[in-house]
Amino acid sequence: MKKKMLSLVLAGAMTAALLTGCGSTGADSTSTADGTTNEAAAEDAGADNADAATDNADASDAATDAAEDTGAAAGANGTFKIGGIGPLTGGAAVYGIAAMNGSQIAVDEINAAGGINGMTVELNFQDDELDSEKSVNAYNTLKDWGVQVIDGCVTSACSIAVAAKTAEDNIFQLTPSGSAVECVTNPNSFRVCFSDPNQGAASAQYIGEHNLATKIAVIYDSSDVYSSGIYEKFVSEAANQSFEIVTAGAFTADNKTDFSVQLQQAKDAGADLVFLPIYYNEAALILKQASDMGFDVQFFGCDGLDGILGVDNFDASLAEGVMLLTPFAADATDDLTVKFVTTYNEKFGETPNQFAADGYDAIYTIKAAAEKAGITADMSNEEICTALSAAMTEIQVDGLTGLGITWDASGEPTKEPKAVVIKDGVYTAM
Amino acid sequence: MKKLRINKTTKNDMITYAMVILAYIVVQVLVSTGHVSSLIQGLLVPFCTYVIVAIALNLTVGILGELSLGHAGFMCVGAFSSAVFSLACKDAMPGGLRFFLAILIGAAAAALVGFLVGIPVLRLRGDYLAIVTLAFGEIIKNIINALYLGVDSNGVHFSMKDALSLNMEEDGLMLIKGAQGVTGTPNDSNFTIGVVLILITLIIVLNFIHSRTGRAVMSIRDNRIAAESIGINVTKYKLIAFTLSASLAGVAGVLYAHNLSTLNALPKNFGYNMSILILVFVVLGGIGNMRGSIIAAVLLTLLPEVLRGLSDYRMLIYAIVLIAMMIFNWSPNAIFFRKRLKQRITAGKQPKKEEA
């Protein structure tokens, strides 16, 4: 009897706990909704208050936990809420944190300069742990916060999962670095980076046009979407070019420390160029192992190789002569890049990679589109989404990852890939 | 004490069913009155997924008494088999029928794999099941990451190398694209279907436990030699319970796959970390206690999302909460404290009853 009663009480308590859990979040969501209407009202009153805008810029430093104090931040001025999603913890955290930091710099700059159409920009960046399910949770959290535009996700699979939801809810989505084809199939989603096939084709064309090689070996990561996407397109484009692919060695995330087999294959096949559509950590190992076995060959990579000079304990002289196609090189000398790299170094104490640059460009792209479309804070998400999607095809953005970037309705950017060669330990434009 | 005499176990089961139904009604009312945030609404289907897989694992761990570290692998099998089916038949049949068949296919595929894994392993004594299922989960994940499957006018194409070697026609449809997994699965899962599946799972598992077969399985758990001595076919009963458990995990996988438009086999969602997480649901909720598994699965899925406000600290807090819950549930001192608390409460009530 006692046991029964106890179990009843416990079951009751648990149900009650469930109820209060739901109840309290429910209350949160209503208060956020109130917050949004307040802002909308306040927007007309204080849109030109530039001082308040700079004050708010400080507040947005604490962007990730801004969810609680939305009401306070939105008190005096209209705000434009951008929600970012990316991996901030776990193995891919490097990419997510870089994109977040890059976006944050852009947001701070925009707010210091008076915001978008007089609105203060607020960035709330949520962690998705590189898991598409968590990514959707992060997106829903942002929705509760009252997000108006999604800047994400940083990775492809998460981007695809969230894109299905943003299409349903009519929220504009711009992914800084989700490069798989499927990321931008919906009319409301666009991207800043090149798509994977795009990079593969561009690499093949570049090698062919410049007659860099006649026999090419490819080493790629078959368990990685980015790497296998580039590889597939590279192979199909190679058919139209003057070179032939002699070997293709694959590795997976579980065995990416020893590449002697793939290198030996390439050497035996007489390859005079090795194409590496992979990330820089593995590429650093490949360069080391190739040099150990006396395999002196030209290496060619994509934007994933950007950052190879920063790998710990890597002898930079090994990377001498490596060529890569990348939209961003931290050592470029144009004003925009220099300014960005300096700010990034000051704030976060490291040299930005291309994800940071993509994040930075994403925010400025949203700004350009929002200004073109004349977005105001009192517009509904659907209106913003329609207006921005239309405006995206009309704007031209000069960003870190390319000059004069334009978009078509398919969501793909058009920009020139930059080829970079590593000379005397620095990235030099070719 | 004149009361309607209901069997104690029946009553206990009824409480479990009632709890699920009550929670469903309450959530539906809150959703329709607009009191539930989008975060919680988005979490409703994952709740159902993890509740089902927790119940499934509890059948293996609590009733069969074997340790399985590969339930995420069975989820993975169910998820991918059903997602491929749904994608291939996306336009061929109406949503309801398609999802119903997808559930059956996911359950059948996971059951088959569970059966095959079980045949050699369940003949052994000791912790071999844990070792083999752990390896199985990792193998499944890696196979799917290297699997390319497509269908076009010439039929089905299959490769373990890359997408190009499929030689597909232009009109071909990629079903599984290696590491990119399955993209474009229809979103058929919803909360109502999830709750119905939880109830079906509960009915199957609870009735299985109280059945003749269930009692045989529990007798093996409690004393293998005694069970054998009275003529129970140990391997057969172990296989029955384990296959059932695997197929229910497959159902959870179906629910998971049809909730997101993209499905990849990552260490995060189908790796052994997930298997351990499912085991944590079971251990925290109480081994052999289905109701506890349900509550633990919901709370532990909710917790990291509710703690989002703490940004990076949430992982730390999550771990601390986990340890605190473990101590509260299982530490002898905590159990003693809870007993005393319970005694005091009942002691307070007892005199009142006598007065009345």
Q: What is the pLDDT of residues B209-233, one digit of tens each?
A: 999 999 999 999 999 999 999 999 9
Residue A312 pLDDT greater than 90, yes or no = no
Q: Is the pLDDT of residue A139 over 70?
A: yes
Distance of CA A208 to the CA centre of its chain: 29
Confidence grade of residue A45 (pLDDT, cut at 50, 70, 90) = very low
User: Which pTM value belongs to this model?
Assistant: 0.80
Give the other-Cβ count within 10 Å of A374's Cβ.
Answer: 10
User: Are both A145 and A174 inside the same structural domain?
Assistant: yes
Q: Do A26 and B36 touch (CB under 8 A)?
A: yes
Distance (Å, whole) CA A415 – CA A412: 10
Q: Which range scores top for mean pLDDT: B34-43, B76-85, B255-264?
A: B76-85
Residue A429 lies in a domain: no
Q: Are A134 and A279 contained in the same domain?
A: no
| Average pLDDT score, chain A | 79
Give domain limits for chain B: 43-271
Would you say residue B323 has pLDDT above 70?
yes
* B104/chain A closest Cα distance in angstroms: 23
Q: What is the pLDDT of residues B122-173, one digit of tens each?
A: 998 888 999 999 999 999 998 998 888 888 888 888 888 777 777 777 777 8
Question: In 10 A of CB A144, how many CB atoms?
Answer: 20
Which regions of chain B does DSSP assign to beta strands (E)? 148-152, 155-159, 173-177, 182-183, 262-263
- Longest pairwise C-alpha distance within chain B: 85
Residue A414 pLDDT greater than 70, yes or no: yes
pLDDT (0 to 100) of residue A15? 47
A174: helix, coil or strand? strand
Same domain for A123 and A42, yes or no, is yes
Domain C-terminal end among A304, A326, A348: A326
Q: Could you tell me how many CB contacts below 8 A there are between chain A and chain B?
A: 160
Half-sphere exposure of B56 (CA within 13 A, CB side): 36
**Residue B351's pLDDT band (cuts 50, 70, 90):** low
Put simply, the answer to whether A88 touches B312 (Cβ < 8 Å) is yes
Whether A99 has its CB under 8 Å from any CB of chain B: the answer is no
Query: Are A50 and A110 contained in the same domain?
Result: yes
A5 is a domain residue: no
The mean pLDDT of B186-190, rounded to a whole number, is 89
Give yes or no for a cis peptide into A153 (omega within 30° of 0). yes
Three-class DSSP category at B182: strand
Closest CA to A163 of A148, A144, A184: A184
Q: Region A303-325: what's the mean pLDDT?
A: 80
Span of A65-69, A129-133, A201-205, B281-285 with lowest mean pLDDT: A65-69
Co-location of A98 and A182 in the same domain = yes
- The domain tally of chain A equals 2
A244 and A189 both lie in a single domain: no
Residues A308 and A350 in one domain: no
Q: How confident is the model at residue B181 (pLDDT cuts 50, 70, 90)?
A: confident
In this structure, the answer to whether residues A161 and A257 fall within a common structural domain is no
pLDDT at A70: 39
Kindly state whether B146 is in contact with chain A, defined as any CB-CB distance less than 8 angstroms.
yes
- Residue A139 and residue A225 share a domain: no
Of B43, B262, B302, the CB nearest to A157: B262
**Interface ipTM > 0.95:** no
Q: Is residue A294 part of a domain?
A: yes
Share of chain A above pLDDT 90, in %: 22
Q: Contact B260/A4, CB-based, under 8 Å?
A: no
pLDDT for residue A17: 44
Of A143-157, A193-207, A367-381, B207-221, highest mean pLDDT? B207-221
Over 70: is that where the pLDDT of A74 sits? no
Q: pLDDT value at position A65? A: 40
Q: A111 lies in which domain range? A: 12-194+337-414
Task: State how far residue A412 is from chain B, nearest Cα, in angstroms.
Answer: 19
- Specify the CATH number for the domain of residue A301: 3.40.50.2300
Decide if A147 is inside a domain: yes
Residue B47 has pLDDT above 50, yes or no: yes
Of A66-80, A209-223, B63-77, the poorest mean pLDDT is in A66-80
d(CA A225, CA A275): 17
Query: Which string of b and e fits A222-250 if b means at least 16 CB within 10 Å?
Result: bbbbbbbbbbbbbbebbeebebebbbbbb
Q: By the CB < 8 Å criterion, does A2 face chain B?
A: yes
